[in-house]
Structure formats: C-alpha cells, structure tokens
Structure 1
C-alpha cells in the first residue's frame, strides 16, 4: 500500500457520519476541558503560593479516576452507553457552571476550587471507559484501529489548542469567562449524543449485573500476568513523569517569570509536540519494540525535566515542552495499545478501566508527592530528583518486558452446551466442572506442565478456584477441576474461551489415551 493509500485508510472512519459528528464534538469538549484546567491550575497560584496546594489540583483531578475506574468500567458494560454519557456530560457542565459562578462573584477559595476539581474528576472517571467502549459501535471492524488512532489524534488537537486558548482567554477576560467557554463546549457534546440514534440493544438472558461484572473484572485482572506487567510499567513511568505536570504552573511562574498566557502556551506546546510524536510514531515502531519506545519516552521526559531545571529562556522552554509532548504521546500510545491488545472484548471496558485506575493513581500520587517534595526541599531539587528517578527506573524496569499482544483472543465457541436433566436457575451455584484425562505415566510430567499453563485462562474466564487431582486406584486417571460462582457465570465462560486457550486445550488432547474425548461433568451445589 502506498503512502497516499495509507493516509486515506487512516482517515476512513471519518466517512461514518455518526463517528465524525461525535469525534468533532469530543474535540470541542476536550478543548473546553483543557481551558478549564488551565484556569484552575493558574487560579490556585493566585489563591496560594504553597506547592502542596498547587499540586493538589492535579491530585483532585486524577484521584477520582483511580478510585472509580473499575466501577465506571462495569457501568459502561451494563448500562445504555448513550444515556450514561449524556448524564455525565450534564454533571460536568454543572461543575464548570459552579466554577464560573464562584469566580464571577469573587468567592472562589482553595477549598472550593479543589472540591469542584475533584467533582469534575469524578465525571471524567465515569465517562472515560464509556467513550472508549462506544467506538466499535460507530465504525466497521476493519476501521476500528484507525478510529482509536483518530480519537488519540483528536485529544492531542484539543491539547494543542485548549491550553493556549485557555491561557489567552484567562489573561484577557478572567477565570469566569474561561469557565463559561467550557460550559458552552458541553452543549455541543450533549447535542451530538442526542443526535446519535443508537441501535436498540437486545436483551440477553446472561447479561451481568453490577456485582457479578465487578467480580469478573477483578478475577480477570488478578489472573492476567500480561496485564500485571503493563500495569507495573505504567505506574512506574507516570509516578515520576507526573512531576512536570504537578509543578509546571510553578515552573512557568517562578522559574520562567511567565504569565497565565505563557503557561497556556507551554501546555499548547505539549499538545503540539504530542501531535508531532503521533506522526513520527509509525516510523519509530518500525525500529523499536514497545519496550524500546517506553524507554525512549522516559529518557526524553527526564531530559526535559532536567532542562527546565536550569530556568532556560522562554523560547527554549517551549522547545523542551514540544519534546515532552512527543515523549508523553509515545508512552501513552504504546502502553495503552499494549493494554488494548491483551484484553479480550468481553472484559475490555473493565480491563481498560483498571489500566486507567493505575495510570491516574500514579498521576495523583506522583502529583501530591512531588508537591510535598518541592515544598520540603525546593522546586529545583524536586525537579532534579524526578528527572533522575525517571531515568533510573526506566532503565531498571526495561527488563520487565511488555507482552507482544499477538495472542488470538477471539472467542473460540468450541465448548458444547452442558447437558441438563432439568433447567438450572442462572443464580444457582457454585458450579464445579470436572474434566477427566487418561495419561500414560511417561507423558505425565509434560501433560501436567501443559495443563498448568491452562489454569490462568480458566481463572481469567470466570473460575475462582482451580486444581488437579489423581485417582489413587488408577494413577493414569487425572482430573482437572475448577469452581465458578454461578450457573450463569459458567455459561458466560463458554462464550469467553479464546482461540488461544482452545489451542492449548487441543494440545492436551494429544496426551489423552482414553476412549473418545475427556469426560466432562458439571456439579451444582445442592
């Protein structure tokens, strides 16, 4: 495919009218959000000179995502996504209206600003997984990856425009008008959602309720070693990289002698750098692995923090922030892409919510910690510690390799429906499933090794306990067993088993010497 054809296919999702409408609306909404964030970040420096208070704004914005990400992911899977998005957008508009009112009346305080920022963070936590989950409904499957890339591009377009526009409006007209622009942006987003005629969702007898979906998401996350590696790398990177976001208002004001408009320009430079990084990313992927890209992003970000430490001229500070934007988007896109690649569709919303929880938890903890460090030892020393810590941990954790994401996670649908003498209630349980294998003594070691490799898959798909037993009278008879919380959850498990696990189960059959296939039995608690 030539370059022109690749470019055309990259923008193919924009041919879908609903996707184009929502994509444009979210850009406007994100521009308004970035304008609001600039106003809040700068206003707090007027209300308090304490680095801790300044950093608490970043903490208040990100902590709710850490606390509510998993419930938000569950809600995105079990509620009508269109109505849910409309409700949350109205909540966010109300938060900005509150900020507008307090600022216009001269009643804004550190406490009210942090409280309303926290409430806005709650809205962002609820809406994040749902925005990602609706993309497959808006475009054909062949355009899904390009649609995800366009969403990332849209966020960075807003990041390039919003902060600069927010700084300009803030410097020219004040905080109240800046917040008013954010309120107006939600009108466009809600209108677009009202115009989206979402196809009615069919009723499913196996639909999950909140608690069962919550438990299933946690079981999957607990059993997925691949997801654990992504989460560790994400937490370590953003714990140190968050320093520049937490301290940037103070860097702009105290070290660089800038105004609100200059602070907006710096943030705009980050967005512009992110767009440039997104353009370069395909070339970098051709040369570097995911681990190499994250290492590159960490070293670039550490270099920027170290460069700002010397209070450079403003033009050089802007150039450094361009580099930071490129490093930031490389890390974000790489880690998010790996997380997407290792999650099956049935748990994607909840898995991404856990990823967002760790990401925002690292940002919240990092922002608060770096604010405290800056207050204790001074701004320059805090920046030096952050830069060194980011570079050192990037080199150390480079050995904890990210998964390749090449596993086939599509449902195999190869399990036959279980036999029932009479219908079983969906909430009846727990369920014990037993699979009997007959294995030659010479093959026993290799068989058990293969079977234990299947245990994580059983747990991820719904089992809360798993084991292997042997018949004392017939040593060649081995039984695999696992427990599932209810009959409905086991039926869902039938639809979750991936092609990758099916291949592993097929490998087990090579060891089975009994007549026919291994016997499978289901036992319900009496």
Structure 2
C-alpha cells in the first residue's frame, strides 16, 4: 500500500521512504549489477573470439528485443496485473541466464550462440521493463512520481558505477562462465521483492482490451499527443548517436588503451559513476527546462566522445567518461520524466514502451553502424564521426522542442457514469456513433471552432475514429460533433480515459453554449443486426446484461 509523504519539500530520495518502492528499487540495483556483469563478460568474450563488428552487435542483440517487443509489452503492462507480468518476464530472463552460464562452462559458446542467448535474455527484460517502470505510479504517491522515475534510472547507473569493474575482475580471475552465473543469481532478489509486494488491483468495470487493439490504442495516443511524440522522436537520435560510446567501449579498452577486461570494467564503472553523480544536480538542472537540458547534454556528450577518440590515457579516458555518464543519465531521465508526466495511467505502460523501443532501436541500429565504421575506418574515426553528429543534433530542437510539464496527468476522481441503454446490445456491439449538438452564438464561431480542434485531438487519442464537425447552413448557431467507436466497450473505455485537464477543455465548449442550453448527446448503433427480432417467434434479447463478464 502507498504510504502518504509529509513535509513541504520532497527530495530526490523521498520515494525510498515508501517500503514497497524501496524493496523493489534495491532488488533492481542487484539485478542491474548482474546484467552489467554479464554485459562485460559477453562483450569481452566476443572481443576475444570475433571481430569489431560482432563486438558491437552484442549491444544490438541486447537492445533489439526491446525495440521489437516493447509495444506489445507496454500493452500487456496496461492490460494485466503489472506485478504478475514482471514475475513471468523475469522467469524468461532467468532461463536465458542459466543457459548462458552452462553453455559457457561446457565450451559451447560461439559468436552466434552468444548473440542468440543475449537476445533471449533481452526478450525477457524487454517485457519486464514497461511493467516495472509503469508500476512506479502504484508504489508511490503522485507528488513523488518524478523523483521515483529518476531513482529507477539512477538504479541502473549506480550499478554501472561498480558492476562493470566487478564484472571485469570476475572475468579476469574466474572466467566468463562465472560472470554469467553471478548474473543468474542476481535475478532472484527482484523475484522475491515482487512476490512480497501486495499490490492492490485497480478496480475496472470493463474487461481488458485485446492485445492487438491495446497496442493500436497506445500508438494512437502517442501519435495524437504531440509532446510525447516529439520526446520519443528525439530519443531515437540520442540512442543512435550515443550508442557509439557504449558499443565501441570494449574496442577502446582493448585497442586504444591496450587493456584487459578489467580496464573495460573500469571504463564502464567511471561512466556509471558519472551517472550516479548526476543525481545530485538532476533536480537543479531540470529547472532550466527540458529542451535546454537535452541540448546541453548532447553538446557534453559530443565533447566527451571526441576526447575519448583522441585519448590513449586511462586517466583521461576515465575522466571523460565521468562527464559522458552524467550527460547520458540526465538526458535520458529528463525525457523519461517528461513522457510519464504527459500521459495518464491507463496508457503509461505503452508510452514508456514506445520510448524504450525507440531508444533501444536507436542503440541497436547505431551499434551496427558504428561497428561497421570501426571495422572499416578504425575506432577513433567512428567516435569522431559520432561526436560531430552529436554536436549538430541540438538543431533538431528548433523544429521538435521537448515540452515542459510539472505535474502528472490525473484521471477523474469519479469516472463518468455509463449512459442509459434501452436496446439489446452487448459489449461487442458496434460500431457506435456519437453525436453531440451545440448551439453557439455566431459571433463566437471562430473561437468555438479552434477549441473543437483541441477536442478532436482528445477524442482521437482516447480511441475515437472518423471525427467530424458540422455547421447547419440554415441555422448557423447549430453545430454537430460526430465520431465513432468500434464497439460499445470501446466507447465506454473512451469515456473512462478522460483526464481532469481534458475535462476542463470540454467544459470550455459548454461555456460557449447559448444561455440555458446544454449539449445534446445522441448515441447510435450502426448496422444494428441482432438488436431487432427478425421473426415474431425469435427470442427477445432486451434483457441481456451488457455488464456481464465476457460481453
């Protein structure tokens, strides 16, 4: 159960005062450490048995599942119990980690076997991610959501500050099989924390959407929500260009610094340490606004990657990676917070999944590109090219700026009552056509029209199709808004998805009405087959209960 937080100022660590969040966060720290230990082992083994392009493909195999599965995983996170979906997906990752450890121990590891098992583990974590991230809102009070989101991102970077160094030591002294076995064991604290979480199921009056329709609902919301769409597009650029640093770091350690797996672990550790240090300035930096933060981080990353390309000193490279880690963490966390604040809870999992898919897809694609460039032109040339592109990437902000928002979107405290139904329909009946009639003085026609365009976007992202607005030629004060929903249940979901902010916009439409009038609402069943008796002897379905399970 979420415990209320008191006090006028809530710091970045305030969510750790909530027991459920604290337990899961600590468990995530351990599992992230194991994943990073495995990452060091996988990358180093590949550097020993294959070429530069295959080394970079370790990142591709790890992140490609997130790009491919994130959208259905996000739909699952919104449709079903997020705790149970996390447990099931972790079981997949555990099976893959065990297989990787056993195959390594008995000498069955080849480049393609290694990539295949990394991909399999990545599949489990791709399904796990959206459920884990979107469940934060169920673990902490709404005022603590930004801090909790930041702490979840920091969890990975805290692990990265020491996990790779530990992984390098394990690989150097005990071999890759030991590193893979440690990763296998590190998943169990998270499983225990999730089993101990007594999640309170959110009440719902409707059955879950089908997977395909749930995926489309999430994509429709993102397409029609411009701030979220922009943030996700910018994340693609970040993933593609920033992947140069992550995917080529094994080659930096091995070829440019002449080091071992321990040196590789140290470099990753300094990158993570920089990300951890950024926690203490994150809240202050965010005051400058999301767009300025993202631009500044891109420039800092560009300078860091360029310095890394020119460095042959472990000390200098480590110092550069401190700055790079801080810039990467602040940029990714800023965009993640922005997305979670702009979307309501019903679509949070799908929005986070789309963000994760974009970042992961960018990393996966970028890793392949930078691996090929490094193979053909050298590691330093690949890093300098990425640095140049990172330096000019803030220009995108002139066309796609990332918007600011301070508070999370809130659903209505009391959901809208179900409309009265006097005809035999089921939850699957449809399409449903909705007509709303307005009487607005002609002098306010332009302002009313502009407001209705905002309402069009609200209807579209919440599930409405074929929206139109008509004006009566004979009586110009009369307007009719029309849209449709595929089924009766889809219409009820569309009503339940309205947020307080969206309801305020709809109230403004009422303010335009001529005094004493109200919006006239009519609902129609298109193609009403089954709602009438074709023969006198046919049974009357008028008493059919549309609220019955499965209808």
TM > 0.5 fold call: yes
DSSP 3-state at the match of 2:47 = helix
Distance 1:490 1:63, change over 3 A: same
For residue 187 of structure 2, give the secondary structure of its aligned residue in structure 1: helix
CA distance, structure 2, for counterparts of residue 407 and residue 423 of structure 1: 42
Which residue of 1 is the match for residue 25 of structure 2? 23
- The one-character-per-residue Cα deviations of 1:424-452 (angstroms, maximum 9, x if unpaired) are 31111111111112233332222212211
- Summarize the Cα distance change of 1:102–1:61 in structure 2 as closer, same or farther, 3 Å threshold: same
1:34-56 Cα offsets, whole Å, 9 max, x none, are: 100110011110111x2211111
Q: Would the alpha carbon gap of residues 331 and 398 (structure 1) be closer, same or farther in structure 2, given more than 3 Å must change? A: farther
**Structure 1 counterpart of 2:347:** 347
Alignment of 1:415-434 (within 5 A): 417-422=418-423, 424-434=425-435
2:502 aligns with 501
Q: How many residues align?
A: 520
Q: Which residue of 2 aligns with 1:36?
A: 38
Look up the match of 2:470: 469
Q: What does 1:108-123 align with in structure 2 at a 5 Å threshold?
A: 108-123=109-124
**Cα distance, 1:74 vs structure 2:** 1.1
C-alpha displacement of 1:514: 6.8
**CA, structure 1 residues 272+408, in 2 after alignment: closer, same or farther (shift >3 Å)?**
closer
> Is 1:99 the counterpart of 2:80 in the alignment?
no
Q: Does the CA contact (< 8 Å) of 1:35 and 1:162 recur in 2? A: yes
Moved more, 441-450 or 354-363: 441-450
Larger helix share, 1 or 2:
1
Would the alpha carbon gap of residues 446 and 82 (structure 1) be closer, same or farther in structure 2, given more than 3 Å must change? closer
CA contact (8 A) 2:140 2:148 kept: yes
Query: How many angstroms does 1:246 deviate by?
Result: 1.3
Q: How many Å separate the matches in 1 of 2:8 and 2:255?
A: 46
Closer/same/farther in 2, CA of residues 221 and 274 from structure 1, 3 Å limit: same
Classify the secondary structure of the residue corresponding to 1:520.
strand
Q: What residue number does 1:65 align with?
A: 66
**Structure 1 unaligned residues grouped into runs of 5+:** none
- Asked whether the equivalents of residues 239 and 362 of structure 1 are also in contact (C-alpha less than 8 Å), the reply is yes
> Greater CA deviation, 14-23 or 384-393?
14-23
- Residue 127 of structure 1: how far off its partner (Å): 0.2
Q: Does the C-alpha gap of structure 1 residues 149 and 237 become closer, same or farther in structure 2, counting only changes over 3 Å?
A: closer
Deviation at 1:304, TM superposition (A): 1.0
TM-score (norm 1): 0.94
Q: Distance in 1 between matches of 2:152 and 2:408?
A: 25
* RMSD of aligned alpha carbons: 2.0
1:408 Cα deviation from its structure 2 partner: 6.9
Match of 2:531 in 1: none
Match of 1:134 in 2: 135
How far does residue 423 in structure 1 lie from its aligned partner after superposition? 5.4
Q: Deviations for 1:251-302, whole angstroms, at most 9, x for unmatched residues? A: 111111111001000001011000111211222223x221111111111111
Q: Does structure 2 conserve the Cα–Cα contact (< 8 Å) formed by 1:437 and 1:514?
A: no
Which residue matches 2:331? 331
| Higher deviation after alignment, 291-300 or 423-432 | 423-432
- Distance in 1 between residues matched to 2:318 and 2:345, nearest whole Å: 41
Match of 1:377 in 2: 377
Note if contact 1:466-1:482 (Cα within 8 Å) is conserved in structure 2: yes
Query: For structure 1, which segment, 85-94 or 8-17, has the greater mean C-alpha deviation from structure 2 after superposition?
Result: 8-17
TM superposition score normalised by structure 2: 0.90
- The CA deviation at 1:363 is 0.9
